[in-house]
Amino acid sequence: MKVTNPLGVHARPAAMLVQTAAKFKSEIWLSKDGNEVNGKSMLGVMTLAAEMGSTVIIKADGPDEDKAIEALARVFEIRFGEA
């Protein structure tokens, strides 16, 4: 997913991603530039340093993986609720 909000994935968007990921049983990973982190870890998501224009890859493995990917993609699509 492309990060399109001007401030990138700072603390509030990272919290949105982690809260969304936590709703699913599947294991979830986010990666940027070869750095893969646990999508349910606030610290992990913050370490991606995903600035505007960067691409974050969402992966999931488990019983609800498709729904998890869709939900996380939606968070990116709504630009983390920021204008």
| Residues known to be catalytic | 10
Which amino acid is residue 74, in one-letter code?
R
The burial of 43, by beta-carbon neighbours within 10 Å (0-12 exposed, 13-18 middle, 19 or more buried), is given as: exposed
Instruction: Quote the crossing angle between the two packed helices 11-21 and 65-77, to the nearest 10°.
Output: 160
